A and B are shown apart, each in its own frame.
Chain A
Amino acid sequence: MTAPTTTKIRVLIAKPGLDGHDRGAKVVARALRDGGCEVIYTGIRQTPEMIAEAALQEDVDVVGLSILSGAHLELFPRVIEEMKKRGLDDVLLFCGGIIPEDDTKALEALGFKAIFRPGTNTQDIVKFVYANAHAHPQN
């Protein structure tokens, strides 16, 4: 007998760095919850190591990073590096916050599949996640 699987998309929403403005992150977490995802929210002031370790322990399919401090080009590469160190190379990445257009290419090169700026419709984020996340296969 083949049992039906009940895989849900698991998303980590994390805020690296020192800015304490997490309203955006909470709005996105809530929208994804309402979209049927299981969202792990870890709060503000996360180091890159903490984010990567949470992604590993929670076995998430998607990581969304939120930042408003302007330090994204400092912090995001370190998050990616810590994730790679832990073998997390098949996780869907997106980010959001105050991120200048000029930085788009650099972030895409790091592996971010989408950047959501102020004014984004949260439904677009939910659609993006469902279109791109694959609840990942077993090892």
Chain B
Amino acid sequence: MERFLAGDRRALARIISRVEAEGDDGRDYLRTLFPHSGKSHIIGLTGGAGSGKSTLTAALTAEYRRRGKTVGIVAVDPSSPFTHGAILGDRIRMQEHALDPGVYVRSMAGRGALGGLAPTIDSVVAVMDAFGFDYVLIETVGAGQDEVEIAGTALTTVLVNIPGTGDDIQAMKAGILEIADVLVVNKADHPGADILVSQLRALLSLAPHGQRRPPIVKTTATKGEGLEQLAEAIEEHRDYLEQSGEMGKVRQAEARHQVLGIARQMLLERIRHSMPEPELEALVARVAARELDPLSAAEALTGAGRL
């Protein structure tokens, strides 16, 4: 713990593992570290698979390093729903920062969590924040239309779009576009980038009056183009949060999200442990055989938990 606060990266790596394992020692670390967090600017990068999130994360990191800032990165990749194993390949795109003492990259497996994140993401981000990075970047699992969880963790959410993936009705649907604080059109050297920008701009103009309109930034992450503008757009959003008084509201909402999330997990565990496994299996078997409906079974399970 002393080593962590003194800036020892091995201690950071170990503590993240313990927190991710969700054991008692991990919880104790989190309790001790939490008061040191709340200083980093937390940025979430989300977007479809293959939209260039990893490359953009690396390029944005390079921009922050040029500005003399330190960066912690949490890159989430999916776990297998069958074996629970995972291939974590986001570091491949981040090689230029491999030996930079001002950058720390941690790969996380989704471990079955919904929303393109990992179950312990908030805790791991708090650990990185407490370590003292100026920026913590979270790269989500490739997200589609409805993976909006990142907005509950990040202060600034960046949605990465690429040309050629659907008409403007796709973007008009409810969901992921609504959580974007900054919109990126990546792969801007590809045909259709300008059309996508004007489609997004047209959509944003339909937003209700008085609502903040997220800026649209064109980037070509592989060539390092547009990153200065992206970093500026993120700073503008941060200034907006602070000056409008939204920051307090965002932090309040995130704390609520986090507390309820952990409480939900704790209650679920308590319920699961309230009924012995064979009994639970027998209950589930009755539902599978259509002898009992799932609502009544869940009531029996939670009733047995006597909450």
Contacts and interface: CB of A to CB of B under 8 A. Distances in A.
Given A3-B22, A6-B21, A42-B91, A36 B9 contact: no
A33 interface: yes
Contact of B85 (A2, A32, A41, A43): A32
A5 B24 CA distance: 8
Contacts of B14: 59, 138-139
A10 B86 CA distance: 9
A56 interface: yes
A33 B86 contact: yes
A8 interface: yes
A57 B105 CA distance: 7
Contacts of A114: none
B25 A38 contact: no
A137 to B, nearest CB: 10
A125 interface: no
A57 B92 CA distance: 14
Interface in A26-44: 29-30, 32-43
A32 B86 CA distance: 9
Contacts of A43: 89, 91-92, 95
Contacts of A57: 9, 13, 104-106
Interface in B105-148: 105-107, 109, 111
B18 interface: yes
Contacts of B84: 8, 36
A53 interface: yes
A56 B13 CA distance: 7
A49 B100 CA distance: 11
A98 interface: no
B87 interface: yes
Given A5-B21, A42-B92, A34 B80 contact: yes
Interface string B5-22: 000011101101110111
Contacts of A58: 13, 88, 91, 106-107
Contacts of A41: 87-89, 91-92
A50 B21 contact: no
A86 interface: yes
Contacts of B22: 3-6
> 8 closest Cβ contacts across the A-B interface?
A5-B23, A33-B85, A59-B13, A43-B92, A50-B98, A5-B21, A7-B21, A36-B85
18 contacts: A5-B22, A5-B23, A5-B26, A34-B85, A35-B85, A38-B85, A38-B86, A38-B88, A41-B91, A42-B91, A42-B95, A43-B91, A50-B99, A54-B91, A57-B106, A58-B13, A86-B10, A139-B11
Interface of B: 3, 9-11, 13-14, 16-18, 20-27, 79-80, 83-89, 91-92, 95, 98-99, 104-107, 109, 111, 269
